[in-house]
Amino acid sequence: MYEYGNCIRSSGKTILNGVANETKIHTQPGCCLCDGLKEKLQAAFLLAGPDSLHDVDLQIRDITSNPEWEMAYQYEIPVLAKVLSDGTEEILPRLSPRLGVELVQKKIAAALKQ
């Protein structure tokens, strides 16, 4: 996995039904919950096993860079979403800051399979 700009990329990309596995996290600077989730996501993306996220792309979005995102998510961040086959986003259930990395990996993998 490597990071550039606002995107964390895995070594590859899984294509399911013609669409890449892609997730987005909406954050803002100075948000400790956002920073904590980003750290757990980065660790979860490095884990191997049956729930591996190696073939999933994660885009980090700073809501302060887009007025629409800021209006939609300013009281909800961090917000994790998956990109659907039609390009729209489906907001995923909030992950507790108390969850361990393995459980975060498992929950995201399950959400992407739905």
6-20 pLDDT, tens digit per residue, is: 444 444 444 444 345
Question: Is 50 exceeded by the pLDDT of residue 3?
Answer: no
Q: What is the DSSP string of 44-105?
A: HHH--STT--TT-EEEEEEGGG-HHHHHHHTTT-SEEEEE-TTS-EEEPPPPPTT--HHHHH
Residue 80 binned pLDDT confidence (cut-offs 50, 70, 90): very high
pTM of the model: 0.77
CATH 1.10.357.10 fits 2-113, yes or no: no
Domain regions of the chain by residue span:
2-113
